[in-house]
């Protein structure tokens, strides 16, 4: 079998879509900003190496957004709904920050409480910004990006005038790729909100303060630069314009890249830390017991790594709520599987992984979400993911309950089996993989067939063609 390969740019572009959703912006916002940054860099006669750095820095600018999601949610409730408005405020300038707080009612607080909020809030914002940089840098390092990209991701909260965070650089000490990425993302936002006039006012106001004045002059002198922000297929254009050698991920590099998705997702919500990686190990072990072929085990492991990335599209305030969710909040929860699939949909390699990952809350009787698919349409890999996610989640603390004892998790899993929501053979494999004995009366399949082979025979008996069976099982027809 040909070894799976993936362009690094594709994976980072998918990650950028997740950060768009996690910061309240439209999908492909970072892709459009990347196109602007490249055009700006060309007018600035940047080298190919600097353009390549700028490319990745722009796409990964908010990869550390997990670090300040809780801080924003604690201040404003739904940090995603206010995301674009927060991002429009000039960084580390007291007057714009106060105006934003007053607009959202903080001026109605008693004077002493407002002062405490300002004192503590600024410090927490500085800490969150530093953590944001550190997480983005860690992600870049794990993806094998250059030292220049890693350094630049540490500079994205600095200001040209030296008043930024962490305050170690000013002027040309700030990486050029960071200077271009920051202004490009701001320009994309202001162009979306108010057109070219808003962009020109923004750049004039922040030139020499937050922004490099040379870059500001280029933008003001070339208003048609913003034309690229109207690109209707930025995914294709960004991939086509990648500077340099277009790195390829394969083997252990690709597996590590999938783990980056897992850790990116889990870091955003403290009680999720380690969940996706643990789920991947459990799924793989259960799949081995059910004799899934190696290629399907790999896909299952990767699907477990990425299964919850769609959670970035909903506010931390929903996931952290200790009480009963409202109908609207529950709809946001149900949509996270949809967003998992859509975040990965543009990549030919990642698309089927996203499709499988999006099934982790389905149930055999059609009572799951978001597609409400029933047993005949749920391949064994999806059923393993479903059962393993239920079991693993019950062992972990949640805002609305404590972690359950292992035996309670076992009992509840079999309750779902008896209710017709999970397959007993699959549940048995998951529990055996987790170190439990499973059912005392294990189902025996005829002729020693594996669960996968039984599934194929069932689809054949239903009159499906090879192509239809392959599509259902997410495999090649030859397999």
Three-state SS string over the chain comes to: CCCCEEEHHHHHHHHHHHHHHHCCCCCCHHHHHHHHHHHHHHHCCCCHHHHHHHHHHHHHCCCCCHHHHHHHHHHHCCCCCCHHHHHCCCCCCHHHHHHHHHHCCHHHCCHHHHHHHHHHHHHHHHHHHHHHHHHHHHHHHHCCCCHHHHHHHCCCCCCCCCCCCCCCCCHHHCCHHHHHHHHHHHHHHHHHHHHHHHHHHHHHHHECCCECHHHHHHHHHCHHHHHHHHCCCHHHHHHHCCCCCCCEEECHHHHHHHHHHHHHHHHCCHHHCCHHHHHHHHHHHHHHHCCCCHHHHHHHHHHHHHCCHHHHHCCHHHHCCCCCCCHHHHHHHHCHHHHHHHHCCCCCCHHHHHHHHCCCCCCCECCCCCCCCEHHHCCHHHHHHHHHHHHHHHCCCECCECCCCHHHHHHHHHHHHHCCCCCHHHHHHHHHHCCCCCCCCCCCCHHHCCHHHHHHHHHHHCCCCHHHHHHHHCCCCCC
pLDDT at 143 over 70: yes
Q: How confident is the model at residue 1 (pLDDT cuts 50, 70, 90)?
A: very low
* Position with higher pLDDT, 70 vs 88: 88
**pTM reported for the whole predicted model:** 0.89
- The answer on pLDDT for 206 being more than 50 is yes
CA 364, CA 378: separation in Å to the nearest integer? 7
pLDDT at 241: 98
Residue 92 has pLDDT above 90, yes or no: no
Q: What is the mean pLDDT of residues 116-141?
A: 86
Model confidence over 456-476: pLDDT tens digits? 777 777 778 888 777 776 666
All residues at 6 or more sequence positions from 252 whose CB lies less than 8 Å from its CB, including other chains: none
Give pLDDT tens digits for 55-83.
Answer: 999 999 999 987 778 777 777 788 898 88
- The DSSP bridge partners found for residue 5 are 250
pLDDT of residue 451: 62
User: Over 50: is that where the pLDDT of 440 sits?
Assistant: no
For residues 191-205, average pLDDT: 97
Report the pLDDT value the prediction gives residue 185, as an integer from 0 to 100.
98
Q: Across residues 374-394, what is the average pLDDT? A: 96
Predicted confidence at residue 88, as pLDDT, reads 93
pLDDT over 70, % of the chain: 95
pLDDT at 385 over 80: yes
pLDDT recorded at residue 479:
66
User: Span 255-279, mean pLDDT?
Assistant: 93
CA distance 399 to 417: 26
The pLDDT of residue 291 is 93
For residue 452, the model assigns a pLDDT of: 65
CB atoms within 10 A of CB 337: 24
Band of the pLDDT at 450, cuts 50, 70, 90?
A: low
Query: Smallest Cα–Cα separation from 430: which of 419, 416, 448?
Result: 416
Q: Which of 41-45, 185-189, 234-238, 316-320 has the least mean pLDDT?
A: 316-320
Q: Which two tokens stand for residue 110?
A: 């008693």
For residue 211, pLDDT over 50 is answered with yes
> What does the pLDDT read at residue 441?
39
Report the mean per-residue pLDDT for the chain.
Answer: 91
Q: Could you tell me if 215 and 41 are in contact, meaning their C-beta atoms sit under 8 angstroms apart? A: no
pLDDT at 254: 95
Tokens 């916002």, located at residue: 29
The answer, yes or no, to whether residue 137 has pLDDT greater than 50, is yes
- Residue of 375 and 449 predicted with greater confidence: 375
What pLDDT score was predicted for residue 123? 80
Lowest mean pLDDT segment, chosen from 90-99, 213-222, 342-351: 90-99
**223, 200, 222: which is closest to 211 by C-alpha?**
200
């Amino acid at each position: 079998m040909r070894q799976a390969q993936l362009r690094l740019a594709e994976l980072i572009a998918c990650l950028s879509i997740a950060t768009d959703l996690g910061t309240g912006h439209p999908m492909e916002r970072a892709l459009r900003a990347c196109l602007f940054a490249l055009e700006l860099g060309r007018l600035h006669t940047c080298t190919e190496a600097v353009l390549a750095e700028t490319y990745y820095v722009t796409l990964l600018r908010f990869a550390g957004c997990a670090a300040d999601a809780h801080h924003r949610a604690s201040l404003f409730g739904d940090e995603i709904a206010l995301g674009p408005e927060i991002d429009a405020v000039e960084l580390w300038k007291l007057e714009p920050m106060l105006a934003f707080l007053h607009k959202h009612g903080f001026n109605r607080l008693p004077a002493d409480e407002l002062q405490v909020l300002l004192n503590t809030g600024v410090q927490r914002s500085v800490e969150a910004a530093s953590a944001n940089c550190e997480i983005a840098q860690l992600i870049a390092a794990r993806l094998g990006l250059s030292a220049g990209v890693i350094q630049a991701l540490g500079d994205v909260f600095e200001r040209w005038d030296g008043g930024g965070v962490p305050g170690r650089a000013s002027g040309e000490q700030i990486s050029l790729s960071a200077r271009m990425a920051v202004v490009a993302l701001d320009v994309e936002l202001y162009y979306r909100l108010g057109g070219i006039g808003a962009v020109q006012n923004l750049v004039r106001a922040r030139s020499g303060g937050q922004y490099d004045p040379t870059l500001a002059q280029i933008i003001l002198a070339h208003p048609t630069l913003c034309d690229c922000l109207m690109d209707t297929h930025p995914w294709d254009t960004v991939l086509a314009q990648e500077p340099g050698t277009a790195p390829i991920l394969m083997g252990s590099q690709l597996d590590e890249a999938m783990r980056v998705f897992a850790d990116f997702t889990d870091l955003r919500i403290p009680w999720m830390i380690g969940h996706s990686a643990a789920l991947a190990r459990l799924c793989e072990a259960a799949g081995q017991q059910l004799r899934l072929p190696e290629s399907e085990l790999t896909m299952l492991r990767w699907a477990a790594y990425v299964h919850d990335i769609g959670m970035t599209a909903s506010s931390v305030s929903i996931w952290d709520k200790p009480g009963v969710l409202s109908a609207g909040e529950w709809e946001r929860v149900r949509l996270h599987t949809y967003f998992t699939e859509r975040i990965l949909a543009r990549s030919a390699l990642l698309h089927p992984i996203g499709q499988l990952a999006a099934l982790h809350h389905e149930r055999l009787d059609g009572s799951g979400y978001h597609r409400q698919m029933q047993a005949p349409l749920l391949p064994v890999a999806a059923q393993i993911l479903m059962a393993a996610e239920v079991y693993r989640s019950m062992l972990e603390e949640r805002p609305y309950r404590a972690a359950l004892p292992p035996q309670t998790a076992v009992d509840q899993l079999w309750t779902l089996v008896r209710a017709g929501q999970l397959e007993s053979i699959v549940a048995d494999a998951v529990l055996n993989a987790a170190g439990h004995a499973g059912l005392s009366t294990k189902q025996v399949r005829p002729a020693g067939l594996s669960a996968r082979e039984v599934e194929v025979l069932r689809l054949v008996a239903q009159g499906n063609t090879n192509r239809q069976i392959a599509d259902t099982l997410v495999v090649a027809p030859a397999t």
